Amino acid sequence: MSFDDLIKSLPSRVSSIADRLGATMLANLANQAVVVFSQIAVVPILIASWGLAGFGTWIVLTAVPTYAGLSDFGLSISAKSDMAMRVSRGDLSGARQTLSSVLAIAIVMIVLFGLAYIAAIFALDWTRILSLGSSITEHSAKVVLCLGLVQIVFYQAFLFSATIIRAMGRPALESSLSAIGRGSEILAVVIVARLGGSLAAAAAAWACSRVLLSVGIWIAVLYRYPMMRPGALLVSRTRIKSLLGPSIGYAMMPVAQSIAIQGTTLAVSSFSGPSGAAAFNTIRVITRLGTQLANTVNNSFVPYYSYAIGRNSGVLRLFKEHMGLILFSLVVYLALVMMLGEMFLRIISKGKIPFEPGLFSILVAAGCAEMLFSSIISMQSAANKVGPIAGSYALFAIATVSLSYVFGATLGVTGVASLVLAASLATLGASVFVLFDKSRSVLRGG
């Protein structure tokens, strides 16, 4: 096909994608919009309420449970893909067995994790470890961290209810509920902050919002889809064993991302204090806006990849459409962030965070690399084949944070950003290699 023919066919291609994925993409767009709002639009509100040091303390403290609890040990994600593939080929009983099996092991692992987490909270001096100074008392810091555990547990509950929604062919509903959950949490925090509440009070609102929503969703899902209710007698050791490998890979992905994002924020805080961490985190959020856009596209395609793999047809077509939209998103992101990034930073920080062109450009480049490798990862996740890239991502993230802690004071914030870029480029290289060397069967349809 010539370039002219490609341009002429573009409207019909976009229309075709919109017809098939439109509702799901809109729901994911809403979800990502809530993420952006929670990371950017609330910054001036929380800074005005708590001051820059107080906001930085909130970022650092909530980074700890986020850091520790982003992963549900990969179980819900592997279950989503497995259940979607099974239901798409008519295996409802197999999908129910998968859900029952992963829930059983998840409950055991969450209990063990919770005990270790609580022990760590009360055994350590967090204001000293996190270099929080006098911005919060040790007691209040422990309260925030404990409430973070509540948020972790009930967020995991939501993730497992979402496996049923995804399997039953309702990915748009899944994303919509995710957006509502995130939005409710941040709205609760903002309300408490504006009313003069403390960080501990905001954490309580954050946790309670998640508890109410997760319990409500489980009740509604089990009422709507009684054929998918989990049962103890359906737990299968064989099924657990078959999903263990993919789950480990998925468990590494959010942990690696949390290390790469929250870990570097904590590293910057160790030599620059809460104010420095707040500045670095805010710039990082702005330069990762393209990743939020890419996630909108990626998350829209993942369920349909699973359905296509289950039917053993149409995967290559989806991949071509997917990559085309990602490249378009990349161009849009670069144009907007380079033109408006400085102004955006000045507005949301009310001029309290200086614009550093070098730091900003490095983190923009890292964001571009992340957009590309995240799209490759999303396709492989639909087939439960994310392990090799997950391992590479985790390794590079750990190296980045380790070097940031050891050499951060010498390298400065720009040096830490350069380490972030190097890790993103290395992960992109590993993703491309795995895609073309290990995933040809997936592209052919499974």
Q: Which of 302, 290, 70 is nearest to 172 (CA)?
A: 302
Cα 334 to Cα 129: distance, rounded to the nearest angstrom: 37
d(CA 263, CA 63): 8
Contact present, 379 and 434 (Cβ < 8 Å): no
* pLDDT (tens digit per residue) in 236-266: 989 988 888 787 777 777 778 778 887 888 8
Indicate the residue type of 364.
V
- DSSP letter at 395 equals H
Interval 118-147: pLDDT, tens: 999 999 888 888 878 777 889 999 999 999
Picking from 126, 120, 61, the residue whose alpha carbon sits closest to that of residue 281 is: 61
Look at residue 441 in the predicted model and tell me its pLDDT. 59
Between the alpha carbon of residue 276 and those of residues 11, 23, 247, 402, the distances in Å are 46, 40, 36, 18
DSSP H or E stretch at residue 72:
none
Angle, alpha carbons 377-381-383 (nearest 5°): 130
Distance separating alpha carbons of residues 190 and 208, to the nearest angstrom: 14
Closest of 51, 40, 41, 62 to residue 262, by C-alpha = 62
- Among 384, 226, 412, 245, which Cα is nearest to 310's? 384
pTM of the model as a whole? 0.69
* Distance in angstroms (rounded) separating the CA atoms of residues 307 and 381: 13
- The structural domains of the chain, with segments of one domain joined by +, span 3-443
Q: List, in order, residues 6 or more apart from 223 with CB less than 8 Å away.
A: none
| Residue 325 CA: distances (Å) to CA of 25, 300, 321, 335 | 12, 11, 6, 16
Question: Closest by alpha carbon to 306, among 98, 72, 15?
Answer: 98
For 56, 160, 307, the CA distances from 274, given in Å and listed in that order, are: 5, 35, 45
Contact 204, 140 (CB under 8 A): no
pLDDT digits (tens, 9 = 90+) for 259-307: 888 788 888 888 888 777 888 888 888 888 888 788 888 888 888 888 8
Per-position pLDDT tens, the chain of length 446: 444 554 445 455 555 565 566 677 777 777 777 777 776 778 888 888 998 888 888 888 887 776 555 555 678 888 888 998 899 888 999 999 999 999 998 898 889 888 998 999 999 888 888 878 777 889 999 999 999 999 889 998 999 999 999 999 888 888 889 889 888 998 999 999 999 999 999 999 999 999 999 999 999 999 999 999 998 889 998 998 888 878 777 777 777 877 888 788 888 888 888 777 888 888 888 888 888 788 888 888 888 888 888 777 777 888 888 888 888 889 989 999 888 888 888 887 777 888 888 889 999 999 999 999 988 888 877 777 777 788 888 888 889 888 988 887 888 888 888 999 999 999 999 888 887 765 555 565 54
Whole-number Cα distances in Å, 23 to 29, 301, 441: 10, 12, 29
- Residue for token digits 């439109």? 22
Q: Which amino acid is residue 185, in one-letter code?
A: E
Query: How big is the CA angle at 202 (ends 197 and 204), to the nearest 5 degrees?
Result: 120
Show the CA angle centred on residue 160, arms to residues 391 and 101, nearest 5°: 80
pLDDT the model gives residue 195: 93
Contacts of 56 (CB under 8 A, 6+ apart): 135, 269, 273, 274, 275, 276, 277, 278, 281
- Angle (CA) 258-203-29 rounded to 5° is 55
**CA-based R_g, the chain, Å:** 22
